[in-house]
């Protein structure tokens, strides 16, 4: 999904964006997890994680609930003018091949609208984060 200019780009940190998304997903009782692949680590820790199976490019949020014929929903969050890396794009392609819906979002409003559509939620009283 490409960024839609109708939604304001998230202006805070990606960590804050992820925390807001986590609150929303927990509030709607989604079955999901965050894959904390990003950030800087000591070289030995990075080697250990790679040996344990950590893969570069995994989206920030993996929703395991199956809806609308999809195996799950993978969401990559971006802030400002950041774009997906080549590793991320390759992983996105692999997920799509496995029937996952994959989106990149720069906006909390956009990601909530997408999740609501995925779960068929009609917001009469939107949850604000």
What SS3 state is found at 104? strand
Give per-residue burial for 57-73: e unless 16+ CB within 10 Å, then b: bbbbbbbebeeeebebb
Q: Check pLDDT > 80 for residue 7.
A: no
Would 7 be classed as within a structural domain? no
CA distances from 5 to 53, 109, 122 (A): 37, 12, 23
Q: Averaged over 96-125, what is the pLDDT?
A: 91
pTM over 0.85: no
- What gap in Å lies between CA 52 and CA 42, rounded to an integer? 15
CATH number of 90's domain: 3.40.1350.10
Lowest-pLDDT range of 28-37, 63-72, 85-94, 96-105: 28-37
Q: Directed axis angle between helix 108-118 and helix 14-27, to 10°?
A: 30
- Sequence-separated (6 or more) residues with CB below 8 Å from residue 8: 107, 109
What SS3 state is found at 126? coil
Would 71 be classed as within a structural domain? yes
- pLDDT at residue number 39: 66
The domain total for the chain is 1
The DSSP 8-state label assigned to residue 39 in this structure reads S
Q: What would the pLDDT profile of 32-85 be if each residue is shown by its tens digit?
A: 999 877 667 788 888 888 888 888 899 999 999 999 999 999 999 999 889 999
Q: What is the largest CA-CA distance in the chain?
A: 50
Residue 101 domain boundaries: 14-118
Would 30 be classed as within a structural domain? yes
- What gap in Å lies between CA 72 and CA 68, rounded to an integer? 9
Would 22 be classed as within a structural domain? yes
Percent of the chain with pLDDT over 90: 61
pLDDT class of 126 with cuts at 50, 70, 90: low
pLDDT class of 18 with cuts at 50, 70, 90: very high
């Amino acid at each position: 999904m490409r960024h839609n200019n109708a939604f304001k780009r998230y202006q805070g940190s990606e960590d804050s964006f992820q925390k807001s998304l986590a609150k929303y997903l927990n509030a709607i009782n989604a079955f999901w997890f965050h894959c904390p692949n990003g950030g800087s680590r000591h070289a030995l820790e990075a080697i250990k994680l790679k040996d344990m199976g950590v893969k570069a490019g995994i989206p920030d949020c993996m929703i395991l609930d199956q809806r609308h014929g999809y195996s799950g929903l993978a969401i990559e969050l971006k802030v400002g003018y950041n774009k997906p890396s080549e590793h991320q794009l390759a992983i996105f392609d692999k997920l799509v091949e496995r029937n996952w819906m994959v989106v990149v979002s720069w906006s909390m409003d956009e990601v909530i609208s997408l999740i609501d559509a995925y779960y068929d939620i009609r917001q009469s009283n939107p949850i604000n984060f």
